[in-house]
Structure 1
Amino acid sequence: MELKARVLVVGGGAIGGLFAWRLSLSKEATVSIVCRSNYAQVKSSGYDINSAQFGHAVYRPLRVYQSVEDAVAKEGTFDYVIVALKALPNIYDSSERVSAAVGDDTMVVLFQNGIGIEEPFVKRFPHAAVVSTVSFVSVKQEESAVLRHGGFSMLASGLHSCERSTQNRNLAKLHILSDLFASQGVSSIVEADIQPYRWQKHILNGSTNPVSVISGGASCQEMVRNEYCRALLEDVMAEIFMLGKKVTGKSFPGVDGIIDPKSATEYIETIPVPVYTSMLVDSQCKRPMEREVILKNPIALADKHGVDVPRMKALYALVTMVEAGYK
């Protein structure tokens, strides 16, 4: 690897824009970004970022591209490819979309929601290091290239797969990336087993996302203030706790003090500004929702492990009908 880490962020939405910005502030990295719907705005004016944690900034990426192929034509392959695309396996294969930028020594770092997101990358890049990263952050793209970020950002990363002979080298490489984020104010840790963290985040993702769509557009706080909706959320969360512990064989790490369904809904109550889920925003914009990785993949694991998840199955059926009804 060169003296400066060469990073390509694929997906210029809220997550990609925020973390590309933090990484770009390090003198030890050069960061390029691939944008789609907001390409023209980012290219001309950059991102306007309002962050309760970091303050206000205008972030103008060093290089902005419309496609991975354009980035590779200009710069070749990269040391790190951060995948911040929506996880929509029923629409497209994220691993295929980034494949041009992945060389022999590229580390593929997945900043995607959901369960089971890693396998397409392992299959496509059997010799590459695939890292699963879980982001605990509240950030929203309010309009094109305008980001609003809350007061907290945390990343938990772990090597999901790599060739045994390269494990020590790739672990060191992952620590370099983690330290770069930490140097710019992002809480960033490397874990030997990242899946409990992924299930920890899924407690909120797998419950509030689909319920917000079905509820007709409620914020997370509005949902927990309704006694019936709160009870539903806690029942879904209980299924996720049970399933995640069965799949991983471990307890969850308790990020944000969330150790059971009750503490999860109590945490939501403490958030000072209304939170609207990404799945809700997608449904309101008539865009495909991440229903496969948020619901279908966990349901398949439940069937495999003999865990009963009737509420998750009901939510999957309902959001599928909502998406099928787009006009």
Structure 2
Amino acid sequence: MELKPRVLIVGGGAIGALFGWRLSQSDKVTVSIVCRSNYRQVKLHGYSMKSAQFGNQIYRPHRVFQSIEEAALDASYDYVIVALKALPNLYDSAERISMVVSPQTMIMVFQNGIGIEEPFVKRFPNNPLVSTVSFVSVKQEEHVKHGGFSMLAFGIHNKFIERDELIKANDKLEFISQVFIDQGVSSIIEADIQPYRWQKHILNGSTNPVSVICGGASCQEMVKNDYCRKLLEETMQEIFVLGKKVTGKAFPGTDGIVDPQSATQYIKSIPVPVYTSMLVDSQCKRPMERDVILKNPIMLADKHGVDVPHMKALYAMVTMIEEGYSK
């Protein structure tokens, strides 16, 4: 009997839980997950999922591991989904997953930010690498709470791999994409994923750092304040200009976001308060994804001659806030 493709999710937070849950509803794959701080809870009780789109359910992964080393002893994996925080200033996500990557593994990076792919290309030059952009509202508290929409945009990043291998990789990606579609997650495959990554970054690169500096405001509260909305829109404009310069393409306009004003109108339309991941990390005195959200884009701006004074100011401030945790 042919074995089902094995999926391993590395990172047991909200994103890993939500998309692991959707995949696990299919009888075409088996889904295991590596947890850290929540290992005992998930191992004993599973995840309590509360979703406006998919309903409520207790999700119990096929296997729950407390370390990469434990997962590596259990099986080889056809797909490794990286749902770790992107913190290159603290650790190398590519190195962290190395024990569970075989020559047959497709690596799917579900991380926020810009420039997140390069460590994986460097560490695994012969494995197909899928850069994945998730458009979703989900957070983990006592329950994993998800809104009414979920979309994934996939793109094979390392197209320089050998042609026959690229054909196999496309087939493999189409398979897992269809599994997501079958379980209610909108899914598209793009030849060039970077415009989608920059599209998401319009909100990520502005609301995340500004919410930290505002001391705990929701996204809706920020756009209601005239001064704060102006700061957000001017930061968004820098991201629009920089992203188009780097990619050479227009953004896809997901959620109708085609300029800073439509982005802030979109935020206003969200019915429940949205608190950014960087804000939550800051409040818990955890490291923030400041490098992939701000530093990497700033480095690209300097390379391409694009002026980004707001992003540079925000980076300086969130860096100082994080460095103040220990004081």
Query: Does residue 177 of structure 2 align to residue 178 of structure 1?
Result: yes
Q: Which residue of 1 aligns with 2:107?
A: 108
Q: Which residue of 2 aligns with 1:46?
A: 46
- Alpha-carbon separation, structure 2, partners of 1:231 and 1:94: 35
Which digits, 9 at most, give the CA deviation of each residue in 1:115-160, with x for residues without a partner?
00000000000110011000000000013xx200000000000000
Give the paired residue count. Answer: 323
Identity of aligned residues (%): 72
- Alpha-carbon separation, structure 2, partners of 1:238 and 1:142: 33
Unmatched 5+ residue regions in structure 2?
Answer: none
- Alpha-carbon separation, structure 2, partners of 1:4 and 1:250: 38
- Alpha-carbon separation, structure 1, partners of 2:302 and 2:180: 38
Unmatched 5+ residue regions in structure 1?
Answer: none
- Alpha-carbon separation, structure 1, partners of 2:248 and 2:210: 27
Aligned residue runs from structure 1 range 1-327, under 5 A: 3-75=3-75, 77-143=76-142, 146-162=143-159, 163-165=161-163, 166-327=165-326
Over the residues paired in the alignment, what is the CA RMSD in angstroms? 0.7
- Alpha-carbon separation, structure 2, partners of 1:229 and 1:31: 42
- Alpha-carbon separation, structure 2, partners of 1:206 and 1:308: 15
Of 295-304 and 155-164, deviating more is: 155-164
Q: Secondary structure at the match of 2:192?
A: coil
Which letter maps to 1:20? Answer: G
Which digits, 9 at most, give the CA deviation of each residue in 1:280-301, with x for residues without a partner?
0000000000000000000000
Superposition misfits of 4+ residues, deviation over 2 angstroms = none
Which digits, 9 at most, give the CA deviation of each residue in 1:175-206, with x for residues without a partner?
11100100000001100000000000000000
Normalising by structure 2, we get a TM-score of: 0.98
Which digits, 9 at most, give the CA deviation of each residue in 1:246-288, with x for residues without a partner?
0000000000000000000000000000000000000000000
Q: Secondary structure at the match of 1:217?
A: coil
* Kept after mapping to 2: 8 A contact 1:3/1:28: no
Q: Secondary structure at the match of 2:141?
A: strand
* Kept after mapping to 2: 8 A contact 1:247/1:301: yes
- Alpha-carbon separation, structure 1, partners of 2:205 and 2:118: 19
Which letter maps to 1:9? Answer: I
Normalising by structure 1, we get a TM-score of: 0.98
Which digits, 9 at most, give the CA deviation of each residue in 1:27-55, with x for residues without a partner?
10000000001000000000001100001
- Alpha-carbon separation, structure 2, partners of 1:159 and 1:3: 25
- Alpha-carbon separation, structure 1, partners of 2:7 and 2:120: 18
- Alpha-carbon separation, structure 2, partners of 1:89 and 1:44: 31
Once the 2 structures are TM-superposed, how far is the Cα of residue 164 of structure 1 from its aligned partner? 2.4
